[in-house]
Each structure stands twice: as structure tokens, then as C-alpha cells.
């Protein structure tokens, strides 16, 4: 019997409130997962990530395999102990690196051969090997090897990527995840709604425990993303968790939740924080700007995070302009807290069956500054 369960608690329009039960704790959904590519959410301690409201984090199988190595992490007691995060961890498969490292890889039916961006050495990733690495890491939610395309991609490219993704998905399902792990299937299909529907239907037939939707927000026009997401979601069962990979801008989270997505991840909030860009209820601002030199207010007056409670815009601007490492740390904490509060507010709205009203109010307040 599986140690995992997904309970759908309530719906409001297309939005869903649920609860993902794992051996290492409960994840209330919809939820945003901070990205810890190298076994750390950049600039944050594990304790801080938990304190700001995150219930689950993401780590990168490919990068941890290269450095420090899955063998070392296994000898150290697994990824949770290694990074001192005791809640659930989701690890991706290396499929995103098929896109991001396109010039450093080649594809065959057997898998992917990557040339390491660290030292140029070659490494073969097969569906079985990817799952074996994730067993060594000891993560909770695990992903099969897949092919993620960048925009643009024609029908021929998308069809071939889908063929490989489905071939590897079947092999991954047959191999299975390790004890205490939940294996998701990944929906690809490029930028063709019909291929997206086909991909979703075929992934469902393989009977994975949860479903992920990949290959979106990879450069396509924003007006295409929603219909492609809807095409995939249309074929996914309501009773299993739905994870939209690589999406983290606040309006995109809101639109994803409106369509029925349960889990999100993205490096965006931490990446932009390191350059001084922060989320607020009225849109993004760059705290380096001269307008904040004598601004004694918080980053966001409606934010309840400890950064907004204790520090002024003027001080945080000074930290960035003085090249002090505390500036990116405070901005990162705030951005992640902002998203944790956003999805928490969405859960409350769904439970009260007023998600659509909350969505309109929130988007109207944000305006067009995103």
C-alpha cells in the first residue's frame, strides 16, 4: 500500500484545495516549492525556508549527481539529512537540462548523454539510472527522465520529443521508484494542444501516482501557455496531484491555480531577488532604484514576513548598493514568503468558494507591473 495519498478537499470554479500526504509530512495545496538546485535554496537556511511557510522544496538530480555526487549524499544519510531539510523533497529528473543544456547533450532511445558544464566529462542518463540516483538521494517525490523542448519547436520536433518521453516513461514505470517515494508522470507535447492532450492521455494510461506538466514557460508567448496547460489538464484525473513545472511569477501562479494546478516550482523568486527585484502586492519593484533612498516603509505594507516587519526599503536599498550579502538574503526571504502567503490566501479563498472573486481582486491590485 502506498505511503502517499492526495485528498481533494474542495473546489471553487476550476481551483482546487487539497492535501498531499507523505511519509515526511503534509503538503497543503495549492503550494509553491522553493527551488534548491544544489541542495540549498540560495541564500537561505533550511530553518528559514520552513519559517517563511514552505512545506516542500525541490532539488536537482542532475546537478547533485555531478556535485557532490549521489554516492556521497547516500553515505551521509540521504538528501534530507545532508541539507537539513526534514520535510518532503521533490527531485526533478534532468529533463529540464535537456532544454537548458541543449548544446551539451545528445539524445537516443536509451537516454541522454550530457557533457558536464563543470569539467566537460560525459555522463549517460537513462530512465533506470535517473530513478537509481533519486533512490540514493532519498527524495520523496521523484520524476522520470523526459525531453523538455524550448520555444519555438515544430510539430516534428515535438512529436519526436513526445515519443522519447513516453518511451522513457514506460521504462520508468516498469522500474518503479524506491521505497517511500512517489513517482510522477510528466506530460510534454511541445506547443501543440493536440499533442498535449495525447501526451496527457498516454501518461494517465501508465497509472503514475501523480502528474506533472513540463515544457511550459520556456519562451513561448504568454497567451499560448494557458490553452496548452488547459489541453493537458483536460485529460488528467481529478483524484491525483497536478504539478506545473517551472512556473513562479505571481500572476502565472494565480492562472495555474484557476485551472486546477496543485503544485508549482520556479527559480524566479530567488533569482530576481539576488538582483534587487522584489514582489509586492502592487507589482515588482527594483529596490536599487533611487526612489527608495529615503523610503522608510517596508518592501510591501501588506506583507507579514519578518523582513517587512523589521527592515525598511531605504536600508535594503543601501545593502544592495553597498554590495552587502544581507541584501539578497532579505530580498530572497521576502519573495519566497510572498509566494507562500499568496498560495495560502488562495487556499482560504477556495475553501470559502470565492476563488474567482479573490483572483479578480488580487490581479486588479497587482495591476500591470508584472
For the chain, what's the residue count?
370
157 within some domain: yes
89 within some domain: yes
Residue 159 CA to residue 199 CA, distance in Å, equals: 10
Total domains present in the chain? 1
**Residue 58 corresponds to which cell in the numbers above?**
525541490
The pLDDT value given to residue 256: 98
Answer whether 0.75 is exceeded by the pTM: yes
- Domain encompassing residue 182: 5-267
Q: Is the dihedral of CA 189, 192, 194, 196 positive or negative?
A: positive
Q: Which of 146, 192, 262, 265 is catalytic?
A: 265
**Does residue 234 have an active-site annotation?**
no
81 within some domain: yes
CATH of the domain at 74: 3.20.20.105
Half-sphere exposure of 99 (CA within 13 A, CB side): 24
| pLDDT tens over the chain, length 370 residues | 479 999 999 999 999 999 999 999 999 999 999 999 999 999 999 999 999 999 999 999 999 999 999 999 999 999 999 999 999 999 999 888 988 988 889 999 999 999 999 999 999 999 999 999 999 999 999 999 999 999 999 999 999 999 999 999 999 999 999 999 999 999 999 999 999 999 999 999 999 999 999 999 999 998 999 999 999 999 999 999 999 999 999 999 999 999 999 999 999 999 999 999 999 999 999 999 999 999 999 999 999 999 999 999 999 999 999 999 999 999 999 999 999 999 999 999 999 999 999 999 999 998 654 5
3-state secondary structure 29-80: ECEEEEECCCCCCCCCCHHHHHHCCCCCEEEEHHHHHHCCCHHHHHHCCCHH
**Does residue 92 have an active-site annotation?**
yes
242 within some domain: yes
Q: Which of 92, 146, 262, 300 is catalytic?
A: 92
278 within some domain: no
Using DSSP, state whether 89 is helix, strand or coil.
Answer: strand
What backbone torsions phi and psi does residue 46 show, to the nearest 5 degrees?
A: -60, -40
312 within some domain: no
Put the strands of the sheet holding 15-22 in their side by side order.
5-12, 15-22, 25-29
148 within some domain: yes
The pLDDT value given to residue 368: 57
360 within some domain: no
pLDDT in tens, 217-250: 999 998 999 999 999 999 999 999 999 999 999 9
Amino acid at each position: 500500500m502506498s505511503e502517499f495519498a492526495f485528498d481533494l478537499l474542495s473546489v471553487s470554479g476550476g481551483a482546487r484545495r487539497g492535501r498531499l500526504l507523505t511519509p515526511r509530512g503534509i503538503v497543503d495545496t495549492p503550494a509553491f516549492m522553493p527551488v534548491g538546485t544544489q541542495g540549498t535554496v540560495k541564500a537561505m537556511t533550511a530553518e528559514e525556508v520552513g519559517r517563511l511557510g514552505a512545506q516542500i522544496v525541490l532539488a536537482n538530480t542532475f546537478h547533485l549527481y555531478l556535485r557532490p555526487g549521489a554516492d556521497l549524499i547516500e553515505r551521509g544519510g540521504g538528501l534530507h539529512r545532508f541539507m537539513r531539510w526534514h520535510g518532503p523533497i521533490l527531485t526533478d529528473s534532468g529533463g529540464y537540462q535537456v532544454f537548458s543544456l541543449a548544446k551539451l547533450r545528445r539524445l537516443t532511445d536509451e537516454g541522454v548523454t550530457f557533457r558536464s558544464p563543470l569539467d566537460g566529462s560525459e555522463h549517460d542518463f537513462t530512465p533506470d539510472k535517473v530513478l537509481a540516483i533519486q533512490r540514493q538521494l532519498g527524495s520523496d517525490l521523484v520524476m522520470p527522465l523526459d525531453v523538455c523542448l524550448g520555444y519555438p519547436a515544430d510539430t516534428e520536433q515535438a512529436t519526436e520529443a513526445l515519443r522519447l518521453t513516453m518511451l522513457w516513461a514506460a521504462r520508468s514505470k516498469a522500474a518503479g521508484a524506491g521505497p517511500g517515494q512517489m513517482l510522477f508522470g510528466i506530460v510534454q507535447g511541445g506547443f501543440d494542444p493536440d499533442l498535449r492532450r495525447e501526451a496527457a492521455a498516454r501518461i494517465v494510461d501508465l497509472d503514475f501516482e501523480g502528474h506533472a506538466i513540463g515544457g511550459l514557460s520556456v519562451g513561448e508567448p504568454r497567451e499560448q501557455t494557458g490553452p496548452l496547460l488547459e489541453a493537458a489538464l483536460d485529460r488528467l484525473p481529478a483524484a491525483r496531484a497536478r504539478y506545473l513545472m517551472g512556473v513562479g511569477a505571481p500572476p502565472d501562479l494565480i492562472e495555474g491555480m484557476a485551472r486546477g494546478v496543485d503544485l508549482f516550482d520556479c527559480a524566479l523568486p530567488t533569482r530576481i531577488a539576488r538582483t534587487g527585484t522584489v514582489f509586492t502586492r502592487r507589482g515588482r519593484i527594483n529596490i536599487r532604484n533611487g526612489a527608495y533612498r529615503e523610503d522608510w516603509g517596508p518592501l510591501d505594507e501588506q506583507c507579514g514576513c519578518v523582513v517587512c516587519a523589521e527592515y525598511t526599503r531605504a536600508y535594503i536599498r543601501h545593502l544592495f548598493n553597498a554590495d552587502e550579502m544581507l541584501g539578497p538574503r532579505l530580498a530572497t526571504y521576502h519573495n519566497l514568503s510572498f509566494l507562500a502567503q499568496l498560495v495560502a490566501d488562495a487556499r482560504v479563498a477556495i475553501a470559502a468558494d470565492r476563488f474567482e472573486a479573490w483572483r479578480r481582486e488580487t490581479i486588479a491590485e497587482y495591476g500591470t507591473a508584472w
